[in-house]
Amino acid sequence: MSRRAGSARTTSAPAMVVVMAVAVSLLTAGCGSRPETGGSDDQDLASASAHRSRQVAAAWDGSAAAAEWRSGYHPMAEVVQPPHGGLRGRADRRAYRERNFVLRGELPATWPKTGRVTWSGSPPLTRPLTAPAESYETLAGARVGDAPHLTVTGVEPGTMSLVTSRGPATVPAWLLTLDGYDSPLRLAAALPSELPASPIRPDRDLPGQPLRRLTGIAADGRSVTVVALHGVCDDGPAVDVLETAGSAVLSALVKSREDGGTCTKQGKLEEVTVKLARPLGDRVLLDAHTGRPIAYR
């Protein structure tokens, strides 16, 4: 089943705007110029996208790569969880956003080198654990002067609940005690599994751009939010979805300008929420351009 998420999507709100020099392919496919395919229009681009999506789905469905994906540990949600109830006040929220942390406690000197990720009704998986110092360094940036900060007074091992490619899981975590908070900040300690090698090569000739990342999955699994790149003077990104029993293939296109005008080499990153016909479940979420799973970032 192929469904279009563009003008029909429920949400398409800019998450951030990044002005950058981009490849000529973006200027051609994303800024109103027509590709040299004998006068093709948006419908022709959508047709090419749908054809590629079918190829990607056929390559993945029932493949060894899909089986490897489903047997691994792949986070599909944020691996850092603030204290229960969230951060209090503008200063603390700014400190968290800017990664301003101060460590005034001791990091554990010894720790287990492996831990078990567990699922309900699915076999557990043993994964290497990151060291407390390494985990803390990934969380805390370089504090700037007198900017607001969060103070870490202790770190201890624990667990956290996390959405993964195999559904909700209990994951080993480092629990960071924050000054002024009754519950800890949780940071996943288990290293994710490596992404399986794709059974299909990337298609560098497909118009549009690969999706940048997955930023969220709805609680009911019936929609996903991804970040797409498009030109500053086109009509915005559209994301097509092809759903099968084993996968959901997303393909990002851009809607060309009606006036066919020229455009500068600039781009925007924009969040697009795509509705699915049924919950994603353990189906593989794939990008049509790369032929690879869309990772959470």
DSSP of 69-131: HHHS--B-S-SEEPSTT---HHHHHHHHHTT-EEE-SPPPS---SEEEEEETTEEEEEEEB--
206 and 63 inside one domain? yes
Q: How many domains does the chain have?
A: 2
Q: What kind and span of H or E run contains 29? A: helix 24-30
- Measured CA to CA in angstroms, residue 203 lies from 40, 82, 241, 251, 289 at distances of 19, 39, 17, 11, 5
The answer to whether residue 267 scores a pLDDT higher than 70 is no
pLDDT given for residue 65 in this prediction: 97
**If you average pLDDT over residues 184-198, what whole number do you get?**
95
β partners of residue 178: 152
173 and 208 inside one domain? no
Q: Which of 117 and 262 is assigned the larger pLDDT?
A: 117
- Domain range for 91 is 78-188
Q: Are 249 and 288 contacting, i.e. CB atoms less than 8 angstroms apart?
A: yes
- Measured CA to CA in angstroms, residue 39 lies from 7, 35, 47, 55, 277 at distances of 23, 8, 14, 24, 33
Of 31-35, 82-86, 106-110, minimum mean pLDDT range? 31-35
Rounded to a whole number of angstroms, the CA Rg of the chain reads 21
44 and 86 inside one domain? no
Residue 171 CB contacts under 8 Å (≥ 6 apart), including other chains: 73, 75, 115, 117, 159, 160, 161, 162, 164, 188, 189, 190
246 and 180 inside one domain? no
Q: List the strands of the sheet with 247-254, edge to edge.
A: 2-5, 237-243, 247-254, 284-287
Of the residues 158, 188, 218, the one at which a domain ends: 188
Q: Note the pTM of the prediction, 2 decimals.
A: 0.77
Of the residues 144, 166, 188, the one at which a domain ends: 188
How many residues are recorded in the chain? 297
pLDDT band for 3, please (50, 70, 90 cuts): low
pLDDT band for 10, please (50, 70, 90 cuts): very low
Of 29-38, 143-152, 156-165, minimum mean pLDDT range? 29-38
234 and 145 inside one domain? no
Residue 281 CB contacts under 8 Å (≥ 6 apart), including other chains: 167, 221
The answer to whether residue 31 scores a pLDDT higher than 50 is no
pLDDT given for residue 266 in this prediction: 56
103 and 182 inside one domain? yes
- Residue 264 inside a domain? The answer is yes
The pair of three-digit structure tokens given for residue 92, joined into one six-digit string: 């603390």
Q: Which of 4 and 59 is assigned the larger pLDDT?
A: 59
Of the residues 188, 219, 247, the one at which a domain ends: 188
219 and 248 inside one domain? yes
Kindly state the percentage of the chain with pLDDT values over 70: 78
Of 26-40, 153-167, 267-281, minimum mean pLDDT range? 26-40
Q: Are 253 and 45 contacting, i.e. CB atoms less than 8 angstroms apart?
A: yes
